[in-house]
Amino acid sequence: MMKDTDFTLRDFLAGRIWHREHIPFDTEIIDAHIKAGHIKVISGVTKTSKYFQQTHYFCRRCENEEQARFTTFQCAKCDGPCAYCRQCLKMGRVSVCTELIAWIGEDLVFANDHQIAWQGNLTPLQKKASAELIESNHQKKSHLIYAVCGAGKTEILFEPIYELLKDGKRICLAAPRVDVILELEPRLKAAFPETPIDALYGGAKPSLAPAQLILATTHQLYRFQEAFDVIFVDEADAFPYTADGTLKRAVKKAAKKDAPIHFVTATPSKQLIVEANKQGAISSIPRRFHGHPLPVPRYESLWNYKQKFEKGKLPPKLVNWVRERLDHQQPFLIFFHHIELMEKALPIFQTIDERIQSVHAAHENRKAHVLALRNNEVPGLLTTTILERGITIPNVQVAVVGAEQQIFTKGALVQIGGRVGRAVTYPDGDFVLFHHGISNAMDDARKEIVNLNKKGGKL
Amino acid sequence: MKECLLCATSLETLPSWKSLVGMEEQEVICERCSNSFERADIKEEGTTLASITSLFMYNDAMKDYLHQFKFLQDIALAKVFRKELNGVLKGKTNIVPIPMHPEKKLARTFAQVEALLDAANIPYLNVLEKLDTGAMGEKTRRERLEMKPLFTLKQEIQIQPETYILVDDIYTTGTTLQHAAKILKEAGALRVEAVTLIRAK
């Protein structure tokens, strides 16, 4: 029997809960560590009889207990009735007879010699928020950073992260969307050049080395438990985090007991503000780092735009808007509420300029198209709400087609407007809402932006 | 609320009197996903195999479907094509699914062709046994044609001088079906036909 710990295995598995068959280590090594008591084995789905003998399933990886998301079947492996979880299926199926493994041996100890290479300057408001966040970490208290789009939220986190790293703490920076993670990864790697950092998202391979700072989509946190001393949830109000209860549970599960969970967003829900007021602290920043106000949306009616697209026609107002962007060589984004409508509109837009492209969540060239826009190889993109946040393109001009549609909530519109005027060199730009009738959300978003500008202007 | 098995958007189905009394099966995928599959309805005729009927083309949507169904072992997806399978197989007898090697079945935890038939409530006969564990997709065309027998008849199985219908998930070169048909013919089947969910090219 092996008594010694395989440190590579410990480095990988500590803090994780992993599918036994999918772990990148030999079966013999895993078996020996189970025998030696360093690894515990957990049944993937537990089955209990609750509520008058009715079977109740619970997924031990993603903690889903929505019974409709379990499928029961005759399993050839365990030779009988079995059930699996469809919630986290894409990470490798977990069923009653699946074994999950977790590390219970010697703890991971992290280095405390780190370097911070970031040398930018913080505005007084950013500095204050950063200091308040450090204080909350000392008190193990949750903190909400409520800062307008373009306030420089990530920079606020650098100093607090540095302090935690020096204390040997393990940190996770999570966001609901992969785009946000992809944008954060190079910035954090540049800021902390000596720190092992791992970025986890669907399709990314986790490194075997123990990462002290992990960037992850909230989905990836299904695979962690009691791993982190502090978790930051960036863009905490973004889909699907708000709509999916298992993601909120995943964040809690990934945090160690009593570990503070911080939220960072420009558009917090009322509930998030209430919770932060009750148990934690809030730092609010109503002003962009460059000091210029947020662009206020203007309204333009675009009656019956759907029928026009169906007929293969582009409303003249839209044509003019696009032509103006092309004449001034300004990159642009046009938001749509529905993929199909956008795909119908794309060929019509391409008659103005054939280089115009479209992106949506499942689009295979999504990353490439956004990069092309950034590099001025594409003049503009049609997009779904997938690009409503997380991206910065200097001098980008933004239009929303069908701003009255339900999907464009107040938060979504504020975020979309937040794409405009982010760079110091181009602190302003056009933010236009093309609509078939004005919605409450449009008015609410506009009011919020005007109010924030008032608050920010007084400082 | 019921959700589409493929994209998880909620299914807003209006109840009809048939669905209320359980006479009509409810939809399990949304219209958008349903439209992403491309109907083939190809019927090819031959000698060992009198006919091969394929229901769908192998397009991107079907590729994703097969990946989730077979590789991610999402047996719930067996229900997706129950209507279409019923359309060609309902009321037919002597239906024979192409079997999986027992080891592979254990690893996948289910046999996909049987799962498709079970979901469609189509009774079938397990008369064949898989011999080789190699996957078809990993072999070149030449290798496939030169291969030793892929199947054998199960012990104590009597084949009647009747029509048999082989069922498989995907038809690429037809080697698998030809091998199976040959065995059935040699054992006394009068005629062998085949139905596959997908036609790959």
Give me the residue label for tokens 């998880």. B8
Smallest Cα distance from B62 to chain A, Å = 15
Q: Is the pLDDT of residue B32 over 90?
A: no
Q: Is the pLDDT of residue A2 over 60?
A: no
Contacts of A64 in chain B (CB under 8 A): none
Report strand pairing: A99-103 vs A298-301.
unpaired
DSSP helix/strand/coil, B84: helix
Are A442 and A404 a contacting pair, CB within 8 Å?
Answer: yes
Please tell me the distance from the alpha carbon of residue A426 to that of residue A214, in angstroms, as a whole number: 33
Which among A62, A52, A12 has a CA at the least distance from the CA of A33?
A12
Q: How would residue A394 be classed by pLDDT, with cut points 50, 70 and 90?
A: very high
Task: Closest CB to B109: pick one of A76, A89, A92.
Answer: A76
CA distances from B63 to A389, B37, B60, B100 (A): 31, 10, 5, 20
Predicted model pTM: 0.86
pLDDT of residue B90: 93
Q: What is the mean pLDDT of chain B?
A: 90
Are A408 and A439 a contacting pair, CB within 8 Å?
Answer: yes
B73 → chain A, closest CA residue: A93
How many CB atoms lie under 10 A from the CB of residue B67? 11
Where do the CATH 3.40.50.300 domains begin and end in chain A?
Answer: 124-285, 298-456
Asked if B110 lies within 8 A of A75 by C-beta distance, the reply is yes
Contacts of A71 in chain B (CB under 8 A): 74-76
Q: Is the pLDDT of residue B21 over 70?
A: no
Asked if A89 lies within 8 A of B72 by C-beta distance, the reply is yes
Asked if A76 lies within 8 A of B110 by C-beta distance, the reply is yes
Q: How would residue A203 be classed by pLDDT, with cut points 50, 70 and 90?
A: confident
Asked if B73 lies within 8 A of A74 by C-beta distance, the reply is no
B76–A contact, CB cutoff 8 A:
yes
Asked if B74 lies within 8 A of A89 by C-beta distance, the reply is yes
Higher pLDDT, A353 or A53: A353
Q: How would residue B17 be classed by pLDDT, with cut points 50, 70 and 90?
A: low
Please tell me the distance from the alpha carbon of residue A174 to that of residue A176, in angstroms, as a whole number: 7
Are B21 and B164 a contacting pair, CB within 8 Å?
Answer: no
Where do the CATH 3.40.50 domains begin and end in chain B?
Answer: 39-199
Asked if A76 lies within 8 A of B106 by C-beta distance, the reply is yes
Rounded average pLDDT over B4-17: 77
B3–A contact, CB cutoff 8 A:
yes
Task: Closest CB to A73: pick one of B3, B105, B110.
Answer: B110
Q: Which CATH number fits domain B39-199: 2.40.320, 3.40.50, 1.10.3470, 3.90.1200?
A: 3.40.50
B71–A contact, CB cutoff 8 A:
no
pLDDT digits (tens, 9 = 90+) for A437-455: 999 999 999 999 999 999 9
pLDDT of residue A417: 96
Q: Is the pLDDT of residue B133 over 60?
A: no
B101–A contact, CB cutoff 8 A:
no
pLDDT digits (tens, 9 = 90+) for A109-163: 999 999 999 988 999 999 999 999 999 999 999 999 999 999 999 999 999 999 9
Architecture of domain A298-456: 3-Layer(aba) Sandwich (3.40)
SS3 labels along chain A: CCCCCCHHHHHHHCCEEEEHHHCCCCHHHHHHHHHCCCEEEEECEEEEEECCCEEEEEECCCCCCCHHHEEEEEECCCCEEEEEECCCHHHCCCECCCEEEEECCCCCCCCCCCCCCCCCCCCHHHHHHHHHHHHHHHCCCCEEEEECCCCCHHHHHHHHHHHHHHCCCCEEEEECCHHHHHHHHHHHHHHCCCCCEEEECCCCCCCCCCCCEEEEEHHHHHHECCCECEEEEECCCCCCCCCCHHHHHHHHHHECCCCCEEEEECCCCHHHHHHHHHHCEEEEECCCCCCCCCCCCEEEECCCHHHHHHCCCCCHHHHHHHHHHHHCCCCEEEECCCHHHHHHHHHHHHCCCCCCEEECCCCCCHHHHHHHHHCCCCCEEEECHHHCCCCCCCCCEEEEECCCCCCCCHHHHHHHHCCCCCCCCCCCCCEEEEECCCCHHHHHHHHHHHHHHHHHHHC
Task: Closest CB to B73: pick one of A68, A74, A93.
Answer: A93
Contacts of A74 in chain B (CB under 8 A): 110
Please tell me the distance from the alpha carbon of residue A263 to that of residue A270, in angstroms, as a whole number: 13
Asked if A89 lies within 8 A of B110 by C-beta distance, the reply is no
Smallest Cα distance from A391 to chain B, Å = 26
Rounded average pLDDT over A202-210: 88
pLDDT digits (tens, 9 = 90+) for A49-85: 866 778 899 999 999 999 999 999 999 999 999 999 9
Please tell me the distance from the alpha carbon of residue A210 to that of residue A192, in angstroms, as a whole number: 15
Asked if B2 lies within 8 A of A68 by C-beta distance, the reply is yes
How many CB atoms lie under 10 A from the CB of residue B59? 14
pLDDT digits (tens, 9 = 90+) for A254-302: 999 999 999 999 999 888 999 999 988 999 999 999 999 999 999 999 9
B31–A contact, CB cutoff 8 A:
no
B92–A contact, CB cutoff 8 A:
no
Task: Closest CB to B109: pick one of A77, A86, A90.
Answer: A77
How many residues does the structure list for chain A?
Answer: 459
Contacts of A86 in chain B (CB under 8 A): 74, 76
**Does residue A240 have a cis bond before it (omega within 30 degrees)?**
yes
Mutant choice from A72, A73, A365 vs B, greatest count of B C-beta within 10 A: A73
Mutant choice from B33, B108, B109 vs A, greatest count of A C-beta within 10 A: B109
Interior CA angle at A231 toward A194 and A22, to 5°?
80
CA distances from A457 to A76, A126, A296, A416, B121 (A): 67, 16, 14, 21, 69
Are A356 and A379 a contacting pair, CB within 8 Å?
Answer: yes
Asked if A89 lies within 8 A of B3 by C-beta distance, the reply is no
Topology annotation, domain A124-285: Rossmann fold (3.40.50)
pLDDT of residue A1: 45
Largest CA distance in chain A: 78
A86 → chain B, closest CA residue: B74
pLDDT digits (tens, 9 = 90+) for B33-48: 999 999 998 999 999 9
Please tell me the distance from the alpha carbon of residue A421 to that of residue A393, in angstroms, as a whole number: 9
Asked if B109 lies within 8 A of A89 by C-beta distance, the reply is no
Asked if A84 lies within 8 A of B105 by C-beta distance, the reply is no
DSSP helix/strand/coil, B188: coil
Rounded average pLDDT over A327-347: 95
